[in-house]
Amino acid sequence: MFEKVLVANRGEIAVRVMRACAELGVDTVAVYSDADKHGGHVRYADEAYNVGPARAADSYLDEEAILDAARAAGADAIHPGYGFLAENADFAARVEDADGITWIGPTSEAMKRLGEKTAARRVMDAADVPIVPGTTEPVTEASEVTVFGEEHGYPIAIKAEGGGGGRGMKVVESADEVDDRLASAKREGEAYFSNDSVYLERYLETPRHVEVQIVADEAGNVVHLGERDCSLQRRHQKVIEEGPSPALSDELRERIGEAARRGVAAADYTNAGTVEFLVEEDVDRDPAEPLGPETNFYFLEVNTRIQVEHTVTEALTGIDIVKEQLRVAAGEALSVSQDDVELRGHAIEFRINAENAAKEFQPANEGRLETYDPPGGIGVRVDDALRQGDALVTDYDSMIAKLIVWGADREECLARSKRALAEYELDGVVTIVPFHRMMLDDDRFVAGTHTTKYLDEELDPDRMTEAQERWGTEATADDGDDEAVTERAFTVEVNGKRFEVELEERGAPAIPTGAGGSSGRQRPPQAVGDDGSDGGAGGSDVDVAEGGEAVEAEMQGTILSVDVASGDEVSAGDVVCVLEAMKMENDVVAERGGTVASVHVAEGDSVDMGDVLVVLE
Ligand code: MV4
C-alpha cells in the first residue's frame, strides 16, 4: 500500500478520498488554490500545498504545479477525484512516467481508448455490448449527416468525439438544421477537447439513464456493483441519483450488469469506472411493472473515474469503492469477487447545490454558512467539506455537499429522505434542499417513471418557486469583504522543512506593511485575482428605453459570439449572444425582442452574472 497520497482535488471528494486513506493508514496531502485556503480538504489533510490562483486553469488544472507538490511532499501516489484532471489521459501518462508516483486510476492507455468515443463504441460493439445505432467512425461532412437521416430518420445526435456529460452533443430534428448543429458540435469539440471530430447516433427521445459501477484489478478480475439510475437531471446536470433503478426488472438489471462487465474486460480496463447506458423507457408503463428483459438498452460511454454518485453504490453494497481504487493501484487484488456482491435495500443521493431552484438553478454568488447542522441518524450519510462559519467558495462547481440515504426498500428510503432533508439546518447560503423536498412529493419521481426529460420539459417551474418560498434560505452577504484585513507573509522552518506562512489579521487595526506603499488595508485573498470579470461589460447603470429590454448574462462566463449588431431587428427567443459557462455553450436569447440599441460585449469578453450584454428598444 502507498505511504502518502496526494489528492489533486478539493471539497467533498478530496475529503472522501482522504477518509479512505486514513482508514488504510496512508498519509494525505491536499493541494489548494488561493480561493480554498480555508477549505475543508485543507483542514482534513496531513499537509497541504498551495498550487496557484483561484482560476482552476492556474491551480487545480496546473499539471506541473500538482506534480511539483507531489514531489515536494514525497507522495507516492496521486488520486484525482472527479472533474479537474481526473479524465485527462495525458496527465495520467505524466504521472505514470514520474519516478516513484503512481496514478490512482485506469492506465492512461485505457483512458485514451475509452475517452475517444468512436473507439469506445468499437470496443463495446466487438464485445457484444449493444451500442446506439450510429457511426463508429468520425464524420466530417454535412452530407454524411443527411444521408444518415434519410436512412435512419430524425432526430439525430451529433456528438463530439472527445465529449461526454452533455458537452458537445447537438440534436438535429430535421435536414435543414444539419449545417448549423454540425458546426456547433465541432466548435464545442474543438473548444473543450481540442478535437473537432464528431460522430452520429440515432437520438432516443425518452431514455432512462442507467449506469453500472465496475471495479477491476490487474489480475483480470472485473466485478460489477449494480446500477444507479441518474434519470433526474437538469440540463445534463444530475441532481438526484438512486439505486437500484426503480425501472428495471431483475432480469434486465442482470443483462445490463453483465454487458458492462464484458465491455470493461474487453477494454483491458483496471480500477474503478462507470459504464453508462440509455434504456428505452416505455412511456405508458404501469410503475408496478418494471421494464422486462427484452427492453432495448445501449452503451453510451465509460467514465474512467470515481463519480460523484459512487456513494449510492457504497450504500447498497457496503463496499468502499475508493479503498478498492487504492488497492488496485497499489497492485493488490480486489477485496471482493462477483459472488460476494450483494445489493441490499435502496439508496438515494441528493446533491446539495448552492443554487436557487426558483431562479433556474442560478448558482449562488455569495454566502456564508451562518448555520450548518447536517442530518444524521440511521441510514444517513453526508459527504461534505464544510463547517459552520465557512464562506461559500464560488470559483468552482456549486455542489457543497451530498446527502445519501439508505432504506430497506425504496419506500423506507423516500420516507427517511424526507426526514433527513427536514433535519438539514443550513442558513446563509441558498441551496436546492427545497427542490429535493418538493421532489419527494412528486408523483412521477415517487412512482419512478421519470425520464431524462422530466425536469427540463415536464415539471411545472412554479412548483420550484413554491418550494423555495416554503423551505428556502437566503444568501448572507459575505461581510468579510468589508472587514479590515492585513495580510503578512513569513517564512518559518519546522523540523527542517520550510513553510511560507501568510498571516491574516482581521478586525484588528491595520498595521502598515510597507509593501506596495498601500495603507495596509487589503481585501482578503478570495477577492483578489482573476474572478473572470474584466469590468468592461456594461454594469447595471445602462439606460433602457421604456418598453425596451436589457439582455443580461444569467451566469458568469465568456462570450463566444455576438450574434447581433446595433440596428438589428430581434424577435422574442432570438439568440443575441452565445455564452460559454460551466463548459457549455449557452444561447442567450431576447425575451421580448425589438431593435438593438446597443451592444455591450464583444467576442472573448468575460462577463459576470447580471452584466448587460445587449440593450433592445
Ligand atoms: C443521447 C441521448 C439520446 N440519444 N444519445 C447526454 C449526456 C451524454 N452523456 C449523452 N447524453 C445523451 N445522449 C442518444 N443517442 C440523450 C442524452 C441525454 C441524457 C443522457 C443521460 C442523462 C441525461 C440526459 C439528458 C438529456 C439527454
Neighbours of 504 (CB within 10 A): 14
CATH number at residue 148: 3.30.1490.20
For the segment 506-558, what is each residue's pLDDT rounded down to a tens digit?
765 555 544 443 333 333 333 333 333 333 333 345 778 888 889 998 888 88
In this structure, are 226 and 316 located in the same domain? yes
In this structure, are 37 and 99 located in the same domain? yes
In this structure, are 445 and 473 located in the same domain? yes
Residue with cell 451592444: 599
C-alpha cell at 428: 446563509
Nearest CA to ligand 1 atom 15: 203
Report the separation in Å between the CA atom of 411 and the middle of ligand 1, taken as the mean of its atom positions: 28
C-alpha cell at 131: 451500442
C-alpha cell at 134: 450510429
CATH number at residue 221: 3.30.470.20
> How many separate helices (H) and strands (E) can be counted in the chain?
15, 30
Report the separation in Å between the CA atom of 166 and the middle of ligand 1, taken as the mean of its atom positions: 7
What pLDDT sits at residue 314?
A: 98
User: Which of 428, 448, 480 is the last residue before a domain boundary?
Assistant: 480
Report the separation in Å between the CA atom of 159 and the middle of ligand 1, taken as the mean of its atom positions: 10
How does 416-435 read in b/e, with b if 16+ C-beta sit within 10 Å?
Answer: bbeebbeebebbbbbbbbbb
In this structure, are 361 and 476 located in the same domain? yes
Report the separation in Å between the CA atom of 86 and the middle of ligand 1, taken as the mean of its atom positions: 21
In this structure, are 288 and 240 located in the same domain? yes
Asked if the structure places residue 600 within a domain, the reply is yes
What pLDDT sits at residue 105?
A: 98
CB 460 within 8 A of CB 238: no
Nearest CA to ligand 1 atom 19: 452
In this structure, are 166 and 221 located in the same domain? no
Per the structure, how many domains does the chain have? 6
C-alpha cell at 21: 486513506
**Percent with pLDDT over 90 in the chain:** 76
CA distance 282 to 9: 40
CA distance 291 to 72: 54
CATH number at residue 574: 2.40.50.100
Q: What do you get for the CA distance between the two ends of the chain, in Å?
A: 67
What is each CA distance from 98 to 80, 95, 320, 404, in whole angstroms?
Answer: 15, 5, 28, 37
CA distance 315 to 379: 9
- The range of the structural domain enclosing residue 44 comes to 4-104
Report the separation in Å between the CA atom of 534 and the middle of ligand 1, taken as the mean of its atom positions: 35
Report the separation in Å between the CA atom of 233 and the middle of ligand 1, taken as the mean of its atom positions: 10
In this structure, are 463 and 489 located in the same domain? no
CA distance 94 to 346: 40
Asked if the structure places residue 123 within a domain, the reply is no
In this structure, are 379 and 327 located in the same domain? no
C-alpha cell at 476: 448572507
User: Which of 64, 88, 104 is the last residue before a domain boundary?
Assistant: 104
What pLDDT sits at residue 522?
A: 35
Three-state SS string across 291-313, please?
ECCCCCEEEEEEECCCCCCHHHH
Residues within 6 Å of ligand 1 by CB: 132, 157, 164-166, 169, 201-204, 207, 209, 233, 236, 278, 300-301, 452
Q: 475 - beta bridge partners?
A: 428
For the segment 567-599, what is each residue's pLDDT rounded down to a tens digit?
999 988 889 999 888 767 888 999 888 999 999
What is each CA distance from 338 to 273, 314, 464, 579, in whole angstroms?
Answer: 16, 15, 42, 46
Backbone angles phi, psi at 501, to 5 degrees: -115, 125
The atom number, within ligand 1, closest to the CA of 166 reads 7
CB 614 within 8 A of CB 552: no
CA distance 165 to 124: 19
In this structure, are 228 and 336 located in the same domain? yes
List of the chain residues with pLDDT < 70: 165, 478-484, 495-498, 507-541, 583
CA distance 114 to 612: 41
Report the separation in Å between the CA atom of 217 and the middle of ligand 1, taken as the mean of its atom positions: 29
Nearest CA to ligand 1 atom 23: 452
Asked if the structure places residue 356 within a domain, the reply is yes
pTM assigned to the model: 0.81
β 549-552/207-216 pair status:
unpaired
**Helix spans in 24-62 (H):** 40-44
User: Which of 160, 181, 202 is the last residue before a domain boundary?
Assistant: 202
Query: Could you tell which of 131, 154, 169, 202 is best to mutate to test the pocket of ligand 1, judged by most ligand atoms within 8 Å of the CB?
Result: 169
In this structure, are 167 and 249 located in the same domain? no
> CA triplet 232, 7, 22: central angle to 5 degrees?
95
Q: Which residues contact 57 (CB under 8 A, 6 or more apart)?
A: none
Query: Could you tell which of 114, 121, 204, 209 is best to mutate to test the pocket of ligand 1, judged by most ligand atoms within 8 Å of the CB?
Result: 209
**Helix spans in 153-285 (H):** 178-193, 250-266
Asked if the structure places residue 406 within a domain, the reply is yes
CB 334 within 8 A of CB 215: yes
In this structure, are 359 and 319 located in the same domain? no
CA distance 436 to 402: 12
CA distance 486 to 483: 10
CA atoms within 13 A on the CB side of 422: 7
In this structure, are 50 and 9 located in the same domain? yes
